[in-house]
Homo-oligomer: A and B are copies of this chain.
Amino acid sequence: MPIPVETFQLDPAHPGTLQRQLQELVTAGILSGRLRPGDRMPSTRGLARHLGISRITVTLAYTELVAGDYLTARGRSGYFVSETAPQPPVFPDPPEPVPSQVDWTRAIGQRFPEAPVLSRPEDWRRYRYPFIYGQTDPRLFDHSSWRRCALQALGARDFEVLTADSYGRDDPQLLDQITRQILPRRGIRAEPGQVLVTMGAQNALWIVAQILLTQRRNAVMEHPCYPALREVLHLSRCNTAAVEVDAQGLPPDAVPAGTDVLFVTPSHHCPTSATMPLERRRALLERAERDDFIVVEDDYEFELAFAASPAPALKSLDTGGRVVYIGSFAKSLFPGLRLGYMVAPEPLIREARTLRSLILRHVPGHTQRAAAYFLAQGHYDAQVQKMARAYRDRRSVTEAAIAEHGLSLAGASNFGGSSFWMRAPDGVRSDELAARLRERQVLIEPAGAFFGPGRDPGTHYRLAYSSIASPDIPEGIRRIAEAGAEMR
């Protein structure tokens, strides 16, 4: 049966190319059973005229469809739906779903309360003054080099890396880059057997907590603290305590006796950005040695040390082999990549590798290899350098505007980073300030989530400059000051 040209209508809102859209129309028609094996397709000329597109576009779409065996070409007679075209689904119209009869309140054995997250509108990029933390700035990210590396990792040479289930193994090329290129600049020397590749730092924290903590163990975190870590510890059902940080980060003397595992962010504390000085790092390690506890160091943003040389990682001072080091490519590459790593003595990495393989097997091979190429070809360094330069500029513009408009700075890393820790004006709640600013095209991050349930003093917010261009910063800060003054 000849298929009339009117069967096909283009949708101007379709996100893809015309060729792709036409392919999708044909495959959808065949898979839904509307177009049947043996049906004759409209001629390329006729369909092009009907749709108002070029004939070559139709020919290319048809050629692709022949390759997928949706269509066959019969010489001069034109194109037909293939006799062996993919079949329509066996059950074209499944029954209406019924409401579940199960009492899920009873059936669910363990509940996972949603971690309080920083409120951020999904369309934050549309705001004029986004002081938003941890997302990628397209003006700074070297997207084209990433694309080239990712494409390279899609090649025939890497077919096995791309496709194979590699169980507990990691990509040796990525391990090589991490141990030879990344870790040395943190003063850390590690063998590949002391490194595990993870789905970002979050995954590394989860895995470490599962292994080191039990109901009888004592974990210590900083206060305030990265909210997802608090949830991870809570779920491990261990005992937890929180130690108040000061302007130099966590004070080693305040770590309670009986601590089994301490989670700490010495490079710059999350969220206050305080940097722990070298003497304190040494004192902390001595304390850990004396009390025999494990230290988990989340070195989440070390690449952005543009203002001063970063202090060496705690792990680099770790003569007792008791520091578990966690790193991430979320800032230097991008957070959607979900790529991080953990460095620790072999006995711990062995357990972590087995657990990771039960949870998810491994990080997709393509992700690992593309990152390995990006590192090996020097794009990573160029990228970090470009970001550092831009951040240095943004930071000084922000600092000047903060001073000019009299905002209250509550903390900052002394060597860089991507945000300031701010105090709202007296008597103004930071979440209310944020709500008012949102109406004025300004996004700031009220910091309640960092303090934990019931402990938010309502006083602080985070002001990040990683996603806002320098020229927009002064006006953004001016608006923050203006809104704050109105609300006092």
Contact = CB atoms under 8 A, between A and B. Distances in A.
Interface of A: 15-16, 20, 23-24, 26-28, 30-31, 65, 67-70, 84-87, 89-102, 104-105, 107-115, 117, 125, 134-136, 138, 141-143, 145-147, 150-152, 154-157, 159-168, 181, 183-191, 194, 199-200, 202-203, 206, 210-214, 217, 228, 231-232, 235, 260, 289, 292, 294, 309-310, 312, 316, 319-322, 330, 334-338, 345, 347-348, 351, 354-355, 357-367, 376-379, 381-382, 384-386, 389
9 contacts: A70-B382, A89-B185, A94-B188, A95-B187, A202-B360, A203-B361, A338-B362, A338-B363, A364-B364
A101 B293 CA distance: 11
Given A69-B386, A99-B321, A100-B320, A90 B359 contact: no
B378 A364 contact: no
A354 B206 contact: no
Contacts of A157: 15
A429 B341 CA distance: 41
A474 B89 CA distance: 34
Contacts of A155: 147
B110 A214 contact: yes
A91, A235, A379: most-surrounded residue (chain B CB, <10 A): A91
Contacts of A111: 351
A27 to B, nearest CB: 3
Contacts of A228: 358
Contacts of A384: 86
Contacts of A31: 181, 378, 381
Contacts of A354: 112-115
Given A151-B154, A184-B94, A379-B68, A361 B338 contact: yes
A90 B134 contact: no
Contact of A211 (B110, B363, B382): B110
Q: Which 6 pairs, one residue from A and one from B, show the smallest C-beta to C-beta distance?
A: A100-B321, A27-B378, A89-B185, A86-B381, A68-B382, A165-B335
A64 to B, nearest CB: 8
A330 B165 contact: yes
Contact of A147 (B154, B309, B355, B381): B154
A358 B231 contact: yes
A361 B354 CA distance: 20
Contacts of A151: 147, 151, 154
A141, A152, A309, A364: most-surrounded residue (chain B CB, <10 A): A364
A357 to B, nearest CB: 8
A77 B334 CA distance: 38
A15 B184 CA distance: 24
Nearest to A118: B167
A312 B93 CA distance: 13
B163 A90 contact: no
A166 B99 CA distance: 29
A101 to B, nearest CB: 4
A28 B131 CA distance: 36
B364 A322 contact: no
A231 to B, nearest CB: 6
B97 A194 contact: yes
A483 B233 CA distance: 54
A159 B188 contact: no
Given A151-B154, A378-B24, A336 B161 contact: yes
A165 B135 contact: yes
A65, A161, A376: most-surrounded residue (chain B CB, <10 A): A376
A100 B379 CA distance: 34
A258 to B, nearest CB: 14
A191 B99 CA distance: 12
